[in-house]
Amino acid sequence: SSNGHRGGEDELGSSATKAHFVLVPLMYQGHVIPAVDTALLLATHGALASVVATPYNAARIRPTIDFARQSGLPVRLVELPLDCAAVGLPEGADNVEKIPPELHVNYFDALALLAAPLERHLRAHPPYPTCIVSDFCHAWTAGVAASLDVPRLTFFSMCAFCLLCQHNVERFNAYDGVADDNEPVVVPGLEQRIEVTRAQAPGFFRAPGFEQLADAIERARAVADGVVMNSFLEMEPEYVAGYAAARKMKVWTIGPVSLYHRHAATLAARGNTATATADECIRWLDGKEPSSVVYVSFGSIAHADPKQVLELGHGLEASGHPFVWVLKNPGFYGEAASEFLEGLEERVAGRGMLIKGWAPQVLILSHAAVGGFVTHCGWNSTLEGIAAGLPLVTWPHFSDQFLNEKLAVEVLGVGVSIGVKEPLMWQVAQKEIVVGREAVEAAVRSIMDGGDEGEERRRKAVALSEKAKAAVQDGGSSLSNLLDLIKRFEVVDAAGRTKTE
Ligand code: UDP
């Protein structure tokens, strides 16, 4: 279908034949960060990239986008207001951190209301988009793409292993007749024997109250024009191929997208303004032996129970290794934990660094002094650890994290499981789960000085990171995919269409 609105020059005077990608991330840090990295990558390699964000998130990423624009990259921020009142959300609740759990589903209703303003914006600000790259959680972008008559790709900052496991479990009804949520079930249709439980892998948004959303997301995914994935082929070739075949879709693996950043300045600003400055972290790490420091973080959402904070702190102290521990907002843990943390900080002065806020994570992970990563297995963190060549202590909390743990431990052989078997948040554990200090100490020792087994794990981690880095270089699979993606969504005729239409 030809479309009279297409074409036009943008404010950077760029040619209207360029591919113009509109990235619509879910407004969680774990989704926004890789989407922004992807936008920067696309813009670096000759496409225009627009990133859609609501005000709270826009404020966080604006410094990064502005910096990129100043360096001449054709990337822009599309800030759209979120109509909280329309769906009964408190004013300004435009981020997961500010939304009471019982109103979570309303938040998704508010996001769906972005459809009309986004379409209006895109029509009014040339050049016309040639491709919408939508987070898989946004089913409503299917309508926007259809109405604008442009293709839509689904964006995942998830691994193909996780997506294929989840897909197969659902397609073959693997949980049918399984009464106990904690009973292991073999994932059907894989060559390697992988077991999951319904508690660990219930399916995306398969929680009470989210039924309609989950169905809409599945429908939108099924009819997308392809998949963009923050993963790399050499890490999981059979799963990338398996997922593409299962979905009957092209999958462009373009990661690890965090490797886009090569300089301390852009790294330190990634995602948010860091509490500990890049200089501070680098100076501290420069004083440590190579591969001697453990980095401990549970991502942007998970908050440990105060009892868990104590056990974790004691375990790190007992491990004898220097550590950087990201606590996010310590006010959250209550008085007892705060007192403990103060005491700990004094006892481990010089050996332990506590970051009470946002950490420049990738900057820290890529420092030569860091030798291991205790992670909640959010996919971004997992892949960032892999890209840095680090063995992992895997400590999943919720969502895809259990499957990411299985990839790291059982498929790639670069992780040691802390042993948590049930989710801690959102899908809420049946019982209190606190990992004891001995288990923390043992897991840290096992990745940091674990004898032959530990060395083998570290060797695998380093080899994998070399593959990751090669993937994003000239001739590498991820960069080739990125270039292919850009080529495919260039304008090829006077009506403004791309090859895929
Ligand atoms: N992150 C960071 N500093 C922090 C906490 C998180 O830079 O203090 C980044 C981290 O590098 C990753 C993202 O935030 O890119 C978190 O995503 P992930 O998928 O690991 O976990 P989630 O936050 O979604 O649970």
Closest CA to 446 of 393, 384, 371: 393
- State the pLDDT at residue 16: 62
Interval 168-211: pLDDT, tens? 999 999 999 999 999 999 999 999 999 999 999 999 888 888 99
Instruction: Answer whether residue 476 shows pLDDT above 80.
Output: yes
Quick one: tokens of 492? Answer: 């090829």
Exposure letters 151-178 (e unless 16+ CB within 10 A, then b): bbbbbbbbbbbbbbbbbbbbeeebbeee
- Ligand 1 mutation target, pool 272, 300, 395, 401, most atoms within 8 A of CB: 300
**How many angstroms separate the CA atoms of 6 and 127, rounded?**
7
Residue-averaged pLDDT of the chain: 92
Interval 90-136: pLDDT, tens? 888 888 777 887 888 999 999 999 999 999 999 999 999 999 999 99
Give Cβ neighbours of residue 354 (< 8 Å, ≥ 6 apart): 325, 327, 330, 341, 344, 345
Q: Decide if 454 contacts 443 (C-beta within 8 A).
A: no
Atom index in ligand 1 nearest the CA of residue 297 equals: 5
Task: Say how many Å lie between the CA of residue 135 and the centre of ligand 1.
Answer: 17
**How many angstroms separate the CA atoms of 201 and 206, rounded?**
9
Cα–Cα–Cα angle for 224, 226, 230, nearest 5°?
Answer: 120
pTM of the model: 0.95
Q: Where are the alpha helices (DSSP H) in 176-276?
A: 211-222, 237-247, 264-268
Lining ligand 1 with CB less than 6 A are 28-30, 33, 270-271, 297, 299-302, 326, 358-359, 361-362, 378-381, 384
Range name among 267-271, 293-297, 388-392 with the lowest pLDDT average: 267-271
